[in-house]
Structure 1
């Protein structure tokens, strides 16, 4: 018999309501072998107007579209024809200068005042006219992973650190970009696009109902995206730059890195998994079966000793799955 145990305070149990997928891949020293496989390291996308924390999130009754802040007077060559490449260069510059080597911490203050950020804002303004539906599945997946991670940072710079759980919910449900004429919040990008139009976050039903023009952006669900999205908390996966040509290998590496920190007590037939697999277990197993979740995890366990231990526990048929606590402190 399999048992799932969840030891967490009530506020943590409520977190699944709007997890925008956070990131943190364990100890700083454990991920060096993964970083070399990524061209970029982290993703901050921010804009100009800085709202005081006293009036920011609590006052937002509707979507806050951050790339409508200023008219685009971009003097760079290429325009929309090579926007993906322009964004890549701009994001790489932000990553290199304002994230730590592991992609786990962001220097929000320095980033918000930088020339690199000003350049990024010009590029991001062009997203209003960028047709992401023209991208292939792999390239669209990489595009929205990068945009999500950047929009989180942008939102945190604009609105300040969430002080309450309601603030955090509003961050994910209101902070947005206009992309190709369509407004997409963080929740829309995560649950509507990347999770294949599934309920989650602020969406009690599917984010894009029948007839919604955004429904055409929905991708085939790939559970590995949960280990690539960073919602601005310490326990989120690191921020990295994803590329369409390499997205499959990159997502494998990100998943392996995040799962390095699972805890196993073989003599107790107990495995402690990341909280993300509690919140999004149904993306791996429709019934959230502990056995099926562990079977999905095993191929991503880089350490053979851990993989073999989990296999033995699975074979025993008498297992307990716990979930590790989630640290929602700001990743600064």
Structure 2
């Protein structure tokens, strides 16, 4: 992966740089910048986090059009890598921008506000998650209904073709119950998502053999169809943990929305 300082200033098309690697660079620079700011200024509690502003990788991504991205993101592996990295970086950037204006700012609206302006379209976090990563599914339908209205034509080439429930173990929305942030690469995205799934399930799943209950994250409920319904959840848990869950009742745990930024893996 190239370094942040190796990014040319005149990037305009995917021919100039690997746009998938660019999303990883954005996360890399964001983490380093936040660490540097925290070391310099911690006297006021929540600090300014100036490092969470636009960076060279961010500006390079903004100069790309949807047509540019369509040329670069030609496989589901590339699409998943790019959009997961970008989502996780943008959430941190947006949230620190909100806290810089008001250190008590609520998170309300962060998922629907403009998150990034590409050369020809503006995207929100919801656009990235529910349209591009989930194949344009309705946010509040547990995954059973398509999004409405239909996805814009310019976004359709950038959407994943085959839904992948593992993305829910990779996206971080700044809450304590969210999975941690990892740096994903297209060449290893499948094994990385397998590892993220294994890690989340092992740490989060609570099995009560006496009451014949398994308690799991509410993420499974919010995206029930993505996981294949209750039968699919039992299959995923069984394959991951190496035991049968057919006789256990499923209970969903309360989601802890306590803010926890910079939750790096």
> Quick check: 1:133–1:140 contact (8 Å CA) kept in 2?
no
C-alpha displacement of 1:192: 0.4
Cα distance change, pair 139–130 in 1 and its aligned pair in 2 (3 A): same
Structure 1 residues 94-120: Cα deviation after superposition (integer angstroms, max 9, x where no partner): 334536xxxxxxx9846x323996444
- Please, which of 227, 232, 237 is the counterpart of residue 284 of structure 1? 227
Q: 1: CA distance between counterparts of 2:69 and 2:193?
A: 20
* The one of 315, 318, 322 aligned to 2:251: 322
Partner of 1:245: 187
Which structure 2 residues correspond to residues 4-83 of structure 1 after superposition, within 5 A?
76=9, 79-80=12-13, 81-82=16-17
Helix, strand or coil at the partner of 1:206: coil
Tell me: CA distance 1:83–1:186, structure 2 relative to 1, closer, same or farther (3 Å): same
For each residue in 1:164-220, what CA deviation from the matched residue of structure 2 results, as whole angstroms up to 9, or x when unmatched? 5xx52x110113212352222111110101011111159985156166322332212
Q: State the TM-score, normalizing by the size of structure 1.
A: 0.62
Corresponding residue to 2:209 among 247, 266, 273 = 266
Give CA deviations for 1:3-46 in whole Å, capped at 9, x if unaligned: xxxxxxxxxxxxxxxxxxxxxxxxxxxxxxxxxxxx9xxxxxxx
The yes-or-no answer on 1:295 pairing with 2:235 is yes
Which residue matches 1:206?
147
Count how many residue pairs are aligned between Structure 1 and Structure 2: 235
Structure with the bigger RCO (C-alpha within 8 Å, sep 6+) is: 1
Distance 1:237 1:139, change over 3 A: same
Question: Displacement of 1:234 after TM fit?
Answer: 1.4
Structure 2, unaligned runs of 5 or more: 2-6, 36-44
Gaps of 5+ in 1: 1-38, 40-73, 100-106, 302-306
* Secondary structure class of the residue paired with 1:271: strand
TM-score (norm 2): 0.76
When the two chains are superposed, the root-mean-square deviation of aligned CA atoms in Å is 3.1
